[in-house]
Amino acid sequence: MPFFRRVFGPGGGRGAGRMWNTAFILLLLAEKPSHGYELAERLGEFNLGRTGVGHIGGLYRILTELEANGLIRGEWDTSDPGPARKTYSTTKKGLSFLGTIAEDFSDLEKTVDRFLKRYKAIKQKP
């Protein structure tokens, strides 16, 4: 069983969406530290946009869990006028875990490729 599924359980512990969201959140934070709302907008690049009150709450729950597990860290930014924002970035542990996710996704890619090849063979039958 892939490491990612061993850690989060089948489908990420709370459904497959949670697994995908966790992976893409870590990826985006590894690319560029972000605050929650910016991160929600960036998730839209993967059709995982999480805007709206309910969705933002779910995003912050994932961020809190990742921070509690030492995969990301949050620092309050008070440099801009207005309310302080918590900016999140990946830790070394988070980057290592992201590498494990990438390995799992590579295995998943192979499985999906096999599925698609077999489906195409069925589709081509008269």
pLDDT digits (tens, 9 = 90+) for 3-49: 555 555 554 445 566 778 889 999 999 999 999 989 988 988 888 76
- Closest listed residue to residue 99, CA positions, set 17, 16, 30: 30
Read off the pLDDT of each residue in 98-123 and give the average, rounded to a whole number. 93
Answering whether pTM is above 0.95, one says no
Statement: 3-124 belongs to CATH 2.60.40.1180: no
Query: Amino acid identity, residue 90?
Result: T
Token pair recorded at residue 114: 């096999």
Contact 4, 104 (CB under 8 A): yes
Res 17: pLDDT: 67
In eight-state DSSP terms, residue 1 is -
